[in-house]
Structure formats: structure tokens, C-alpha cells
Structure 1
Amino acid sequence: MQPILRFLGQQPYEEVFKAMQAFALNRNPLAADELWIVEHSPVYTLGLNGKQEHVLDPGDIPVIRTDRGGQVTYHGPGQLILYALIDTKHHSMAARQMVTLLEQAIIHTLSQYGIDANAKPEAPGVYIDDKKIGSIGLRIKNNCSYHGLSLNNRMDLSPFTRINPCGYAGLTVTQLADFGVDITTQELAIPVAHFISEALTS
């Protein structure tokens, strides 16, 4: 069964976060997987074990504690967010396999635009010449994954300088626009979602 693809537009982070939690808590084992495509209003999110010290100078951007893995990251308009609400038991996927799937979806998509990217086993996410372009953060509860990936498309990257992205001081971030790619975030979502869907149904 193909996952259901939902385009949510631009939404406040907290509302979607609560909706994901409710989905995982109340999920029917027979329900289809879902992929939620969204952009968020500016927000910093801090992972379950995230350290406040990595939030250097948030200014007027809210900082929200969440229950995904990982440290602190930034979300804002022009960044693709794909939340993967997947029945991990049905697909026999452990957390690390889910992370790898999301990383490969980003890497494969970037390759279609002529961009060579890679993952790092010691630091989940996707990188181009040591600059981070994609982040992964997951939670698995009741055999259902939620949260997912973020991929920088065409956005204001300056808020990343006010944190230690993913807990790494001095980590530089980049985006598709820096490589001359000019597409909408919704267009970018299609190959990412297609790769994940194909992997889950193959």
C-alpha cells in the first residue's frame, strides 16, 4: 500500500507536532502510512536530549522542546519538511534503518539536480563538502515513526548562525539555491516522497 501524501502548506510547528503525536498514539495497525509535507514558520526545535547550551542567541525566534532524537535545529519558510509516519513493525525497520532511508531519499533527490551529497554514520544527516543540507530526527512510539527530515531549499540561513546546528559548533549549512537550483519546496518534495514510497512498497 502506497503511503498517503499530505501537503499541509506553511504551519506553526507546535500544531503539527501535536498532530503527529496524536497520529502515533491512536494509529490503527491497518491504517496506511502517511508522509506529511510542510513548511514551518521560523522556529528552533530542541531534541529529547538536546542541550540548551547549543542555543546561542535565539532572539525573537521561539525555541520548542520536542521528542525527536538529535540536538537543536532551525526550521523556516523555504525549507522542505517531510514527516514520515511509518508503521516500522510492518516494514521490519529499526530506527537506524529509518534514518538511512530518509538520508538516501535526500541524497538521491539531490543527485537528480546534479548535486553530489553524502551521509555520515557518526553524524546523521546529509552533507555537501562538509556543509549540512539535510537533517534527520525521528521518534518511534507504538511501532510508529514520526518526525522525519528537513531539506534546505531556498531560505534565510542566517538563523543557523545563532545555534550550534545539530550540536556542532561552527557547522556550516547550505541549500539547493546555493547550487543554482530554483524550484518550489512543493516541487522538491515530490522526488523525496517518491523515493520513500518506492522503498516502502518494493
Structure 2
Amino acid sequence: MTRLTRGQTGENAASQHAALIVRHLGRVEYEPTWHAMQDFTARRGPDTPDELWLLEHPPIYTLGLAGKREHILQVTHIPILPVDRGGQVTYHGPGQLIAYLLLDLKRRGLSVRELVNRMEQAVIDLLADYGIEGQRRDKAPGVYVDGKKIAALGLRIRHGMSYHGLALNVDMDLAPFSAINPCGYEGLKVTQLSELGVDEPLDQVGERLRVRLEACL
């Protein structure tokens, strides 16, 4: 089981970017990472720097606080885990870039709505780097390309502190999405960067996303 700690070296080393500590965690199991976010948020104080965790997960379905089991259309070998983020059911797997934002919203002067808007804008700006037009949808957080979802958002806010974040489909097996109604929307199609002509390693996409997120935050 991967333990996430401050002061790791190697790929998990922390680097400082404009008062935001960025951690590149590689491929890590979902549940211990989730609990590490909870622990970080519970322990942080008024001077604790904000953090951005960039990573990917092994295959898993997660069911948000508003999640309804009816949106799981087929039980497969992939585990299903109820979690404490907002939203419905989604899928995480290798080749999907995850960005977890552990932020003090009051210190940054951000409402939850504004944070969601800025996260979406970061993805839209990243897509524009590749010549791809990303769109928002009313009452359906995330980013879409030609009506297909490419990035999902889900947050948890505790005492003005955020955790969880966004998932961007880069180059993954999209088949597991067919076993669910993604984000609770029947018939919603998903897409990814590789289907849109982008041939770039996940870590390089992660660096682009880091830059865009920091610019928006």
C-alpha cells in the first residue's frame, strides 16, 4: 500500500510553485490516497500551504455522496467504492490524469462555484493548447468535446478546505464507462485526448495541466 507523506523523494518529491506544493505521485491505489487527502485536510492549519496532487489510479468505480446505484448498469470485476466527493458514479483507470486540489478556499478568496469554474477553465485552456475546443454544460460540471465528456469534476469541501478534484481522460481503456451512466447521465458518451489526435505521455499532459491550474488559481 502506498503511503503519502510530506518530504518524499524521487517521483513523489514535492516542488513549490507560487505557494502551491505540487506532488507527482505516479500510479497509486484510490482508497489510501483518498484517506491521505482526508488526513491532510483534517490536520492542516491556517498557514499550511495548498497542494496539488497529480497521479493516476488502477481501475475503480467511485460513487459520490449523491450517487445512486441505479447508475451502475453492470457489475464487473472492477471494484465500486462509495466516497465523500460530490456527484454520481465515475470510473478511474490507468491513462486517466487525476488532479487533486487541496486548497484553502477562504485564503484564496474562492467560492465553490468559482473553484469549479476555474478548474473547468484550466482544462479548456489545456485543450486549446492542442487545438481542441472544450465546452461547459449548464448544470453538468465537467468539460466536453463535441458533446462527449473528457474531464469530470468532483469536490469535497470541509471547513472551507477542498479536496478531490478532476479527472482528465488522456489515453485509457474507455470500455468500463459503458457499465455505468457516467456522472449519472444516461447515454453520456466519453472521449479522451488520444481519440482527438493527441499523442503525448501522461506526465507531459500533467505538466501542462499543472501550469494551467496554477494560472487559473
TM-score (norm 2): 0.90
RMSD: 0.9
Name the structure, 1 or 2, with higher relative contact order (CA <8 Å, separation 6+).
1
Give the percent of matched residue pairs that are identical in Structure 1 and Structure 2.
50
**Contact 1:58 1:163 survives alignment (8 Å):** no
Aligned-partner residue type, residue 155 of structure 2 = L
Provide the residue aligned with 2:142 in structure 1. Answer: 125
Q: Structure 2 residue aligned with 1:143, among 150, 153, 160?
A: 160
- Indicate whether 1:37 and 2:37 are aligned: no
Q: Structure 2 residue aligned with 1:187, among 192, 204, 207?
A: 204
Aligned-partner residue type, residue 87 of structure 2 = G
Shift of 1:142: 2.1
Aligned-partner residue type, residue 134 of structure 1 = A
Matches within 5 A, 1:23-172: 23-172=40-189
Shift of 1:195: 1.8
Aligned-partner residue type, residue 118 of structure 2 = L
What 5-or-longer segments of structure 2 have no aligned partner? 1-17
Helix, strand or coil at the partner of 1:118? coil
Shift of 1:199: 2.8
Q: Which runs of 4+ in 1 moved over 2 A?
A: none
User: How far apart are the structure 2 equivalents of 1:58 and 1:172?
Assistant: 19
User: How far apart are the structure 2 equivalents of 1:113 and 1:129?
Assistant: 15
**Contact 2:148 2:188 survives alignment (8 Å):** yes
User: Would you say how many aligned residue pairs link Structure 1 and Structure 2?
Assistant: 200
What 5-or-longer segments of structure 1 have no aligned partner? none
TM-score (norm 1): 0.97
Shift of 1:198: 2.3
User: How far apart are the structure 2 equivalents of 1:180 and 1:20?
Assistant: 34
